[in-house]
Structure 1
Amino acid sequence: MIALIGVAVILVTVFGAYIASGGKMSIIIHALPFEMTMIMGAGIGAFLISNPMHVTKGALKDLKVALKGSHWTKQDFQDLLCLMFALIKLMRQKGAIAVEPHVDAPDKSEIFKRYPHILDDHFVLPFIADTMRMMTMNVNDPHQVEDAMEKQLKKHHAEILAPANALQTLADGTPALGIVAAVLGVIKTMASIDQPPPVLGLLIGGALVGTFLGVFLAYGLIGPFAARIKQAHQQDGQFYAVVRDALVAFLHGHSPQVSVEVARGNVPSHFQPSFQELEAALGQVPAGS
C-alpha cells in the first residue's frame, strides 16, 4: 500500500506543479500514447532480449512483492526460532536419527505443521532438511556446515534478485529510450518546418514529452520499484540466515536455548522479538518436541 501512496505522491506533485505553473496538459496528453508506446515497447523488447524467460516471469511476480513488501512478519521470525528450537532440542535429546522423519516429510511432521506459513515456503524447508540430513550423516564440523549453508544462501540470493536487477537495468536504459523517442519527434518536426510557429511549437513540445517520459519512468517509477523489490528480498534473506545461525551455534556445542538466542541476534530489528517474547514463545513449545 505504501508503494501506491508513493506513486500517487509522485503523480500529484509532478503534474500538479506543472499545471499550477501554467503548463498545458493537452500537449502531454496528445503525445503521451505515441511516446509511451515507443519507450515502453522498446524497453519491453530489450528486456525480453536480455533476460531468460524465468527472469521475465520473476519480474512480473515481483511487482506483487513491490506492493506488499517483505514476505515474512515478526511473528514468522518468532515461529522460525521456535521451530529451530524444537528441532535442535529433539536432536540433542534423542540424536540425529530422531529428526529424519520430520525433515523427510515436513508436511506430516507435528513439529512443522505448527507453523503453516513456514511450511508453505519453497526454500526454507529444503534448506533446513538438507542441512539436518548432513548432520545425520555425521557432518558435524560447524565450519563445514556453515560454508555449505552460506553457498546455498548466496545462490538463492543471486537467483531471487535477478528479476530486480533486470528491472534496474531497464530503468538505467529508459532515459536513453526517451531520447530515441524525442529524436524521432524532432525528425517529425523538421519534416514540418514550413508550418507556422503554433504548429511547430506543438510538435516540438510533443517531442520533448519523450525525453520527459524516459527520465520520469526511470527515476520516478521503474527504479524505485526495483529498489523496493531488492529491499524486500534482502529482508527475506535474513529469514533464512536465522536457520544457518541456529544450526551452526548448535554445532559449536551450545544448548538449544542459546542457539536460538544467537540466531535471534541476526533478525532485522523491526522484526526481532524481544528476549522475553521469545522466551515466552519457547515455553509454549511442546515438551515432546
Structure 2
Amino acid sequence: MNQKKVNLFQYNTTRNFILIIIVLGICNISFSQKTEVEKYYVRVDTLFISQLTEAYKKSTEELLKTLEVKNDRRENLGFGYQLKESGKGVGSISFNYKILYYKNEVIAYELSTYIKANKSRKLKKLYKERLSTMFEVNDDYKVEPIYFGLDKANEPLDGIEKRTENKSTDLINPFAGIIFGNRCGYGMSVLNNRKLFDEIIKNENCEYLLYSINPATRLMAVEFYYCNLTNFSENQKKSIELRIEELKKVPLLTRNCYGCIVGSELTEKTITELKNCR
C-alpha cells in the first residue's frame, strides 16, 4: 500500500513537471511570436512614416496619393463644399484625415495620428523621433494634427465680410465636426463642436456663424437665434431671418444626432423644427 502511494506520488510529480515544461514552452513561443510581430509593426510603421514625410514635403497631391485617398464618400456641406473623412492604417499606427474640397479641388485638410499608450517607453521614443520629422510631438508623446489651407477653410461663405476672430474661425471650418446635436452616442457625451459653440456664441457673432462652411455650425446659430429672439434688435432679426430663408432653400442633407442615433435630415426640416424653440 505504501509502495502504491510512492508510485502515485512519483507519477504526479513527473506529470506536473511535464505540464510545467509544456506551459513554459508555450509561453516562450507566445512571447517570441509577440516580439516578432512587434518588430514587424515597427519596420512597417517607420517605413511608412518616412514615405509619408517625403510625400508631405513634396506636395498635397503626393501626400494624398501616399494615404491612398479615394475619390468617394464625400459629405456634401452645401455651397460647393465637400468633406471627406477617413484614414489609413499600416502596422500598429494609423493616420486619420479630413479633406475639404471646393468644387472638387482640395483647399484644406487636417491630418492626425497618435502614439499608443501601451507601447514601451523605448518604442514611444522611437515613434516620437520618426513622427517629429513631420508632426509636433510633445514630451507626453501627444501628436499635434497638421493643418493645410486653414485660411481658406476659415473664410465665411459669400454674403458677409470676413472677420479675424480666432474663436469664430474654429467653427467656420468643418474640422471641429459636422454633426448637429448636443449630447450624442452611447456615452451621451457633449459633441466637441457643441462645446466650442457654447464657449463663443453671442448675439454679435450669431449672424456671422450663419455663413459658416460647416453646416452644423450654421444650424447651431439658427438654434441660438430662435432660442434667444428677445435678445436681438429688429435690424438683427431682419438680417438674420433673410439669411435663414436662404439656408432653407439649399437642398442639403445634414447629419443630426438625437440621443445615440446619427441620421440625415433636410436642412429645411431641421430649421423648421428649431423655430419652435422654447
Give the structure-1-normalised TM-score.
0.23
Which structure is higher in helix share? Answer: 1
Name the one with the larger strand percent.
2
TM-score, normalising length: structure 2: 0.23
